[in-house]
A and B are shown apart, each in its own frame.
Chain A
Amino acid sequence: GAGVSQSPSNKVTEKGKDVELRCDPISGHTALYWYRQRLGQGLEFLIYFQGNSAPDKSGLPSDRFSAERTGESVSTLTIQRTQQEDSAVYLCASSTPLSTDTQYFGPGTRLTVL
């Protein structure tokens, strides 16, 4: 079956522009996570969606970051007024309601802010 997909795979933007990153989770996975991974570092939790419950936004670094999810499907991470420090790989993961500990990751979107 299809895994988690993310688009675009690469995004280069200019400082101050807004960007949208997309994540398509595995069908049937109600939990969806966004992480940020800076070069040579571990994953930094950003936001978590579980079904129709209110998302856990505790990891978002600033109010320039926001995310939406329609039901149990696609999610979009939006970064407004991008800064150079936003350059990183943004990873999305999903998991089943029975095993939220096992996360299946997408390939990531590499964001470069010039």
Chain B
Amino acid sequence: EDQVTQSPEALRLQEGESSSLNCSYTVSGLRGLFWYRQDPGKGPEFLFTLYSAGEEKEKERLKATLTKKESFLHITAPKPEDSATYLCAVQAPGSGYSSASKIIFGSGTRLSIRP
């Protein structure tokens, strides 16, 4: 069964304290892995898409990496404004337009950065 598990559920860091969020997945034939940021009361905001093991992408203080079993979202020297829930999602192969039904989201990691 295709599954996405994110850990930890919640993470509290001091400003400037670097750490990593984990997204473990089991899916037959990964088509893509996505990271989103979600602020309270808002919809998710797209951050990254990773397609193959070994791929890395960066945006400001965030860097996403991908292996065959998991993805990490590394946050370097975080600031209070980085506080949010970070969601991971995977897309498994589908047929044509049915591919959307194979997008599976994890339950997210709530990140809190103390000043």
Chain A residues with a Cβ under 8 A of chain B? 4, 31, 33, 35, 40-45, 48, 50, 53, 56, 58-59, 91-93, 100-108
Contact = CB atoms under 8 A, between A and B. Distances in A.
Interface stretch (B14-22, B54-62, B70-78, B95-103): B95-103
Contact of B97 (A4, A42, A56, A105): A56
Contacts of A42: 4, 87, 89, 105-108
A45 B49 contact: no
Interface in B2-36: 4, 32, 34, 36
Contact of A45 (B4, B32, B42, B100): B100
Contacts of A102: 46, 49
Contacts of B104: 45
A58 to B, nearest CB: 4
Interface in B40-99: 41-46, 49, 87, 89, 91, 97-99
28 contacts: A4-B43, A33-B100, A35-B105, A40-B107, A41-B107, A42-B87, A42-B89, A42-B108, A43-B105, A44-B105, A45-B103, A45-B104, A48-B100, A50-B100, A56-B101, A58-B101, A59-B101, A91-B44, A92-B43, A101-B32, A101-B49, A101-B91, A102-B46, A102-B49, A105-B43, A105-B45, A108-B42, A108-B43
B91 A93 contact: no
Contacts of A53: 97
Contacts of A59: 101
Nearest to B102: A45
Contacts of A100: 99-100
B106 A103 contact: no
Given A108-B42, A108-B43, 6 more contacts: A42-B4, A43-B87, A45-B104, A48-B100, A58-B101, A92-B43
A97 B34 CA distance: 18
